[in-house]
Amino acid sequence: MAGRTDTAGYPVPDDIDGCDLGAAGYRGPRRVEGGTSLATEVRFTSGAGGRRLTVEITGKPDGVPIFLLHGTPGSRSGPKPRSGVLYRYGIRLISYDRPGYGGSTPRPGRTVADAAEDIAAIAADLDIYRFSVVGRSGGGPHALACAALLPHAVTRTAVLVGFARPDVADLEWFGGMAASNVRDFTAATDDRLRLTERLRAQAARTRRDPESLLTQLETDMTWPDRRVVRDLAIRRLIAQAYREALRSGPQGWIDDVLALRQDWGFNLSAITAPVRLWHGEQDTFAPVSHTMWLARQIHTAQVDVQPGAAHFGAVEILPEMLEWLSNW
pLDDT tens digits along 90-106: 999 999 999 999 999 99
How many whole angstroms separate alpha carbon 269 and alpha carbon 232? 41
Neighbours of 257 (CB within 10 A): 24
pLDDT confidence bin for 38, thresholds 50/70/90: low
Q: What angle is formed at CA 212 by the lines to CA 115 and CA 82, rounded to 5 degrees?
A: 55
How many whole angstroms separate alpha carbon 241 and alpha carbon 317? 18
pLDDT tens digits along 153-210: 999 999 999 999 998 999 999 999 999 999 999 999 999 999 999 999 999 999 999 9
* Predicted local confidence at residue 13, as pLDDT: 37
Q: Can you name the residues that pair with 276 across neighbouring β-strands?
A: 158, 302
* Predicted local confidence at residue 168, as pLDDT: 93
- Average pLDDT of the chain is 89
How many Å separate Cα 169 from the centre of its chain? 27
pLDDT tens digits along 252-261: 999 999 999 9
Q: In CATH, what class is 4-17+24-325?
A: alpha beta
Domain assignments of the chain as residue spans, ordered by start: 4-17+24-325
149 has a pLDDT exceeding 60: yes
